[in-house]
Structure 1
Amino acid sequence: MTTGQPHVVIIGGGFAGLWAVRGLASAKLRITLVDRGNHHLFQPLLYQVATAGLSAPDIAAPLRHILRAQRNVEVRMATVTGIDADTKRITLDDGSALDFDTLLLASGATHAYFGNDHWAEHAPGLKTLDDALDLRRKLLLAFERAEAATDPAEREAWLHFAIVGGGPTGVELAGTLAEIARHTLKDEFRNIDPAQARVRLVEAGPRVLAAFPEDLSAKAKRQLEKLGVDVALGTPVKEINADGYQLGDAFVPAKTVVWAAGVAASPLGALLGAPLDRAGRVQVQPDLSVPGHPDIFVAGDLASLTQANGKPVPGVAPAAKQMGGLVARNIRARLSGGKTSAFAYKDYGNLATIGRMAAVVDLGKIRFSGVLAWWFWLVMHVFFLIGFRNRLVVLLNWWWAYWSYQRAARIILGRGERR
């Protein structure tokens, strides 16, 4: 690495962090990218790994490989344990420290159980590849346990799948799981009929996909119900344990509950000593810098910023990419003695897939659903994958899944699952 040049430390190899690194490719500085994992993850397709449609390498790529040609960046696989904004130093879990001239904190978000963290053991969320692989194992094992069960009540509990949260992740999981039960697993078991599995999507609010217009939300609900999903609206979950969940006054036996209801900011944001919003996100300046610390930036899901229309910048991949790109431009501006620019989010629309040939698309003035929306969703997601190989593999897997209803990654690995 080149020495004697300004040192930029970027924490997080997600969309915001990686796009910032790429935006600084030709800058005369040295960059250290720190991430707990060794890969960049295309998170919008994470549910496909959890439901055995794709394998982990299809939606992830090693950071070192992605950045192999960028000579001004060094990748460190480590966990950040401390940030001292005044002395400009971060500490890592191996006991080492990194001094910085400029810092970008883009460590993302984690699961939020709204004060019920004890639910996490029985209702896993979906944020990382580890989460997806664990959830895939849990979903597939449920059918195996139901096949082996001799008690009808126990069998019914194993065949009850509840997804808590009616946002895009919850909707996509519910629709795909219903498709697996009714088509993928057909004729594979002798003691159970997988099509009898009950897939329930639980949303505390009045509709699914609340960020979409009401007409698309209603269409999504109808498409889910057509797939066989039981959509429960307007009642929050009160309790989740090893035996099931409490919905209103009724306790529902269910061995598989999945959490897709909320997110909380990475705890690293609190280390900056800056103002935080209710979700723990850092309230940044318009140029994404931290108040009182112009050389520290926050981007992606960890940044809290209100747009000119009074709405917060949404925690979605396009916003994170745009933030990362702006931070790179602002760092360059600082190096040249220029002024930084304010962030202005360009909203290109919302997409959500529901199941086989079913999706909803909101592009502002243009809205559509059904088969055309599904193809649009597919093209957009494949287009934004990180590499050519990933795009080709995903297209081939989806082509095969479309014609055969089969999912390529239905291998159960690991031991120790409770019976």
Structure 2
Amino acid sequence: MAERTAHRHRVVIVGAGFGGLFAAKALKNADVDITLINGTAYHLFQPLLYQVATGILSEGEIAPPIREIVRKQDNIDVKLGWVTDVDVEAKKVKVTAPSIEYEVGYDTLIVGAGASQSYFGNDHFADHAPGMKSIDDALELRARIFGAFELADLQQDPADQERWMTFVVVGAGPTGVEMAGQIAELAHRNLAGQYKHIDPRKARVILIDAVDAVLKTFGDRLSTHALRQLHLLGVEVELETKVVDVDATGIEVETKRGHERIESMTKMWAAGVAAPPLARKLAEAAGAQTDRAGRIMVEPDCTLPGHPEIFAVGDMMSLDRLPGVAQVAIQSGRFAADQIKRRLKGKETGQKFQYFDKGSMATVSRFNAVASIGKIHLSGFIGWLMWLAVHLLYLVGFKNRFTAVVHWFVSFFGRGRSERVSTFQQSYARIATREYGDPFERRRVEEAEAAAAAEKEAAAEKAVAGTTPSGTTVQASSASTASPAGGTGAAAAAAKGGTPAKAKAAGRR
């Protein structure tokens, strides 16, 4: 990597999703130093997460390493971590990574941290109905889906067997429709004949949404086609149905028929998205407004009001009611990069971001997809070919495209699923993480608490030792003071980051 110079313009990009990554690549030949900060070491192709969850693709095929993608770009420094706060006055971002915290200064900031799953104020639903926003989500769902068939095969009670073979997908947008369709194909086509005590073809797949149509934004014709195809697959579609509770063994809904409970061990959530907490923090720091989903309301040129040095792109920005899709992120990321290059060349900036809608696509089943591209509406096999071409185009790296095609051939033309491996760790990692938390963060908190307690104890000892009963100050004995070499007692423990008891505990860890 080329050595950096102090005078070069510093661009910090938060997030290596479509917006951040395409912004970084667009600045490849610019006279800038880029710091790309991301919470993972890979770029995630989110539109294909459902194929990881249903055993078609491996996670590596949709998540290439960031460093590998930008290995030929000399002006970029990739850093692992989560930006937790932004100091807009000092022009610094605060970053947390496992076992370390650090800061990075910027001249221009591009924030494209994506979106998180929204449970509409019911975040506890996540334990029983994982979303579809990360590799962890997809691997957990894969373990739950394939594990459900294995456990159903062990049940003696027909009611228990039915509960394990009932799959509920909440959300009838593209992700929900794709998940429901793939689970139905998995049960009715791929797994048929592989179990001695159950017939996977009897599995129930239920798709739920509070709206009155599947793929509502695709228009009536494509929505009707998708609904018909889901019915042919055996998916039970429950529209105008609101989820009111989710627990380990089922889901509670309100329908036109009244309150109902669906017994199901495997639920998944694809019903809504929200901006990450960083959006709110950045908006507060910059004096900007946010919309109902928590996205930052930006100026027409994607900058924050009063802060032309800060761009929000993709799912982080709220502008002209643009949808939270990959193309908005890609185009806004490239636009922000172009604005930076224009500034550095002394050209006029502040042009309005113009989004070019390249359409929306969703697969419903094998060889069947819907595509809405302007006034063109495609469905069936032609729609599927269009979907295939577009997704291959945006998959990063030749290796990923090649292996994806191989696995698609196995899954779509044959009856196998290339990625059926799942583990107990994948199934229970969410619960374990919630129970035990981040071990590095837990240790930081413990050490901070121990140091504070030790400091308080040392201050109390000093106060007692430094005052006689008559109130005369005396010299404290060497036995009660900490030496530079490590000292004794509580002060030494404080120097080591904890009390004696906690220091031993830390050593055991």
The one of 390, 396, 413 aligned to 2:423: 413
Q: Distance in 1 between matches of 2:299 and 2:250?
A: 44
Gaps of 5+ in 1: 307-311
- The separation in 1 between residues aligned to 2:135 and 2:231, in whole angstroms, is 29
Q: 1:82 aligns with which of 68, 82, 85?
A: 85
Name the structure 2 match of 1:114.
Answer: 120
What amino acid is the match of 2:395? L
Counterpart AA for 2:423: L
Equivalences for 1:265-280 in 2 at 5 Å? 265-272=275-282, 273=284, 274-280=288-294
Q: TM-score, normalised by structure 2?
A: 0.80
- Aligned equivalents of 2:123, 2:398: Cα separation in 1: 40
CA offset at residue 35 of structure 1?
Answer: 0.2
1:325-365 CA distances to partner (integer Å, 9 max, x unpaired)? 00000011111222222111100111110011111111122
Distance between the aligned counterparts of 1:158 and 1:121, measured in 2?
Answer: 17
Once the two structures are overlaid, the 10-residue window that deviates more, 185-194 or 363-372, is 363-372
1:96-175 alignment runs, 5 A limit? 96-175=102-181
Pair 1:316 & 2:325 matched = yes
Per the TM alignment, residue 382 of structure 1 is displaced from its structure 2 partner at its CA by 1.0
**Aligned partner of 1:301 among 303, 315, 321:** 315
1: CA distance between counterparts of 2:215 and 2:66?
A: 32
Corresponding residue to 1:26 among 29, 32, 36:
29
Matching residue of 1:214: 220
Structure with greater contact order relative to length (CA < 8 Å, sep ≥ 6): 1
Deviation at 1:410, TM superposition (A): 0.4
Q: What count of residue pairs does the alignment treat as equivalent?
A: 413
Counterpart position of 1:60: 63
Per the alignment, residue 367 of structure 1 pairs with 377
> Matches of 2:45 and 2:426 in 1, distance apart?
29
- Determine the structure 2 residue equivalent to 1:309: none
TM-score, normalized by length of structure 1?
A: 0.97
> Which residue pairs with 2:494 in the alignment?
none
How many angstroms apart in 1 are the aligned matches of 2:230 and 2:93?
A: 46
- Choose from 351, 354, 359 the match for 1:344: 354
| One-letter code aligned to 1:148 | L
Give the C-alpha shift of residue 224 in structure 1.
0.6
The verdict on how the C-alpha distance between 1:391 and 1:251 changes in structure 2, with shifts beyond 3 A counting, is same
> Where do 5+ consecutive residues of structure 2 fail to align?
429-509
Once the two structures are TM-superposed, the CA of residue 417 in structure 1 deviates from its matched residue by 4.8
Residue 48 of structure 1 pairs with residue 51 of structure 2: yes
1:189 counterpart = 2:195: yes
Q: Following the alignment from structure 1 to structure 2, what is the Cα–Cα distance between the partners of residues 236 and 56?
A: 32
**Once the 2 structures are TM-superposed, how far is the Cα of residue 415 of structure 1 from its aligned partner?**
3.9
Counterpart in the other structure of 1:257: 267
AA aligned to 2:166 is H
The 3-state SS of whatever aligns with 2:43 is strand
Q: 1:107 to 1:415 in 2, by over 3 A?
A: closer
SS in 2 for 1:211: helix
Question: In the alignment, what sits opposite 1:241?
Answer: 247
Q: In percent, how many aligned pairs have the same letter? A: 45
Which protein shows a greater Rg? 2
Equivalent residue for 1:334? 343
RMSD of aligned residue pairs (Cα, Å): 1.1
Q: Hey, what's the Cα distance between the residues in 2 that align with 1:347 and 1:256?
A: 35
Cα distance in 2 for residues equivalent to 1:22 and 1:239: 44
Q: What is the rounded CA distance, in whole Å, between the counterparts of 2:412 and 2:102 in structure 1?
A: 49
